[in-house]
Structure formats: structure tokens, C-alpha cells
Amino acid sequence: MNRTRRRRHSQPDVRLELFPIPGIPEVREGDDIGELIVAAMPDLRDGDILVVTSKIASKAEGRVRRGVSRNEAVATETRRVVARRGETVIAETAHGFVMAAAGVDASNTESGTVVLLPVDPDASAVAVRTRVRERLGVSVGVIISDTFGRAWRNGQTDLAVGVAGVTPALDYRGMSDDHGNALEVTLTAIADELAAAGDLVKGKVAQTPVAVIRGIAEYTTDEDGPGVRELVRQSEDDMFRYGSRDVVFARRTIREFSAEPVDGAKVRRAVDAAISAPAPHHTTPWRFVLLESAEIREKLLDAMREAWIADLRGDGLSEESIARRVRRGDVLRAAPYLAVPCLIMDGSHTYRDDRRNAAEREMFVVATGAGVQNFLVQLAVEGLGSAWVSSTMFCRDVVREVLDLPPGWDPMGAVAIGHPAAPPRDRAPRQATDFIVVR
């Protein structure tokens, strides 16, 4: 049973001791970290919390790589690149941690080697805890720590990457403070606070990779506990999931939508992003028609379907082929929200010859495409799925009539918008070098 149940402000007389464990030798592959700790400090007590630098767990578990560059190691440990600037990479690891260089470290290790994070830092913590209990008969908490930067602060601090026998977080939500105010978002990251405290006495260059925190046994637990996962924010709750590197790649074509309604405010924020696109002659060639009424969506799609069928019959296609092609528009019917981006040529120049007039229109078409791309990317950032479908471009008069649009508005496709009901298909692999010509 978890023994952590008391509210923090009911413990005004807490006194903590923080001290390193000296005498731990250089760790090699195959070493037992728990045994090394017991040998260096055989008088550990019930309720002590050990803060263990992840690097020694990695070394003991064979997570040292020789003969590979740091960049190569980072690539192997990266699940998703969040941001990149020069040689600095912020990446998500297989554990779900977002950290510099995917946790790969080239310090405090032999020249020519790099150290990766443990494969399962929670399991590393459990192993240390189990060995201490077996050898000394005491129950300790164990935190495996590593160094993280913070998005809005300079400098680094240690955080927990593995936890056993320690309450990872205290959830005060639903409780009230001493003034009777409801606590709505207070979730205290106990394991991270303890990891940072332990780092104060371990030091980065003092060769003391383990610290003891004594006097706060109420935060230890009888069982190993849930591990660090309570501290890893899930993607659906992460307001800052997309970094500068991968925000564009967040846009995926979604063809299956749930019944969850779409918040129009999110779509309007996507329009804000759309109209930041570049355009010729300081113009604003974009207009977005937002179809929030189910009735008008159905009316438009029915009219477009009739126009499309008439065109295909005029091309001499069989009824079977027509039915197959018309089904491609089902994605628009499946979506709970539609947007129709339109091009207007206000501010364009008129020339004496058709060649330059055609080029002028192409400039505006390109600008509209840039706006649509911004729109789609921002929808993804807002947590919405989308699919751009070109069908309105083949029946512009019909669209203008149904939506009561001015004659100069050219519908440039339609965007199906909704909450994804299924993950998108994997993208076919592409290499930038296949699309580049250098002169």
C-alpha cells in the first residue's frame, strides 16, 4: 500500500538530510549497482531514498557504445525530433522523455564512447531496491535521475527517469487550500523534486553518482509503484507537443472522423495561421468559407455530386466507374465540419498579353496554396484532423451558387475537418535528396 497520503502543509517540522555515498568505484558492464551501494553504505535505513545517476545504471547494463558518433547514437535513440538548431537536437525517446540529444551523453565516459539511457529505467530502480532489501533487510525508495533542460528556463536540473518505491506525484486536485480555494491543477512532481535535491550533493564531477535523502520516508511506498509514467505527459494532453522541427510534419491526411463536434474557435485560429502566408503585391488573396451548418454541408455536397456525375457521364464513363469515383468524395460527407478556401484576385495586375496574365494568376494560386498549407498545419496543432479535397475546383459555379459567394471568389477545394477516428496511414519514405537538383 502507498503510504503517502498526508497533505504537505500538515508537516511543518520536516527535516531532511542530503548526503552523497562516497566510495562507489567506476562502474563497468555487468556490475550490480545495488551491491556497490550496499558495500559503500551498509547502514542505510528504512525510508531512505536513493537518487542514482542514470549513467551508472546505463554502464552496468551495457548501454555504452564505442566507435559511433554522438549524432549516430542520437539518431538510434530518437523516436521523434522535436526541435533542431545547429548541432543541438531536442528529441523524444522511446520512453516518452523529451530531452536534449535523446539522453545520449558523451561526458564522464571513456574517450570514444557515448552512454545511452537505460532501456527501462523503472526496472533499473526496482533492481537496486530489491538488492538493498535482500542484503540489508531495509526498504528504500530509488530514483534514477538524469539531467534535463527546461523550455522556458535557462540551465538544467535533474529529473526522475526511473522510480521504484517512491510516490512519483502527489495529486492535490479536488482538495482545497487553507483559504478554502479549490485546487484544480496542482499535481506535484515529488520524484522530480527529489531527483533535483539529490543532485545538489552528488555533483557533476565529484564521482559521487548516488545520493541519500533521509527524513522524508512518508513519500516512500511498500510496493515498487507505477514508475515514472505518471510524470510523462501523454500526447493528447501535451499543449506543446509539436516543436519547431516537426510541426509541419504534424499535418496528416485524415479520412475517418469521430462524431465529436469541432470547436469553431480552433478552426478560426487555423485561419489566423492561413492568412500569414506570403502573397504577391501585398494582397490578401485568401477567403475561407466555414460550413458549420449540417444542412448547408449536405446541400453543397448533394449539388456537387450531381454536377460531378453529369461531368463524368459526359466523358462517357460507365455507371460503375462513375459510382467508384463519386465515392472518393465520401470523406467530405464523413466530416462534421467543412471549410472551403477561396482565391480572390483583388490587387492583381493586368497585362497586355496572355502569357503575363497567366503568370499573374499562378502567383495568386501559389499564395492560396501556401495559405491552405498553413491552415492544415495549424488544424493539426489544434488537435484536429483534416483532408484537403480538390472537388470544388471542378464545379465552381455550383459552389458559388449554393454558398451565395461573389463571382470573383474561386473555390480551391474543400477541407474536411474533425477529430481523427483512426491513426493516419504511414507516410511512404521520402528523402530530400531525391527531390533536389543542384546547379
Entry pTM: 0.71
pLDDT mean over 19-44: 96
pLDDT mean over 349-366: 95
128-187 tens-digit pLDDT: 999 999 999 999 999 999 999 988 889 999 999 999 999 999 876 555 666 666 655 567
Query: pLDDT band at 5, cuts 50/70/90?
Result: very low
Alpha carbons 307 and 28: distance in angstroms, whole number = 73
CATH number of 8-237: 3.30.1330.100
Percent of the chain with pLDDT over 90: 71
* Residue with cell string 506570403: 278
User: DSSP assignment of 4-69, as one string?
Assistant: --S-GGG-TT---EEEE-TTPPPP-TT--HHHHHHHH-TT--TT-EEEEEHHHHHHHTT-EEESS-
CATH architecture assigned to 248-435: 3-Layer(aba) Sandwich (3.40)
* Residue with cell string 541519500: 212
pLDDT of residue 122: 97
268-306 tens-digit pLDDT: 999 999 999 999 999 999 999 999 999 999 999 999 999
The H or E element that residue 230 is part of is: none
Alpha carbons 222 and 5: distance in angstroms, whole number = 13
Alpha carbons 132 and 15: distance in angstroms, whole number = 24
413-430 tens-digit pLDDT: 999 999 999 888 888 888
Q: Where are the alpha helices (DSSP H) in 293-338?
A: 294-314, 319-326, 330-334
182-232 tens-digit pLDDT: 655 567 899 999 999 999 999 765 679 999 999 999 999 999 999 999 899
Q: Could you tell me the residue ranges of all domains in the chain?
A: 8-237, 248-435
When the pLDDT of each residue in the chain is averaged and rounded to a whole number, the result is 90
56-96 tens-digit pLDDT: 999 999 999 999 999 999 999 999 888 887 788 899 999 99
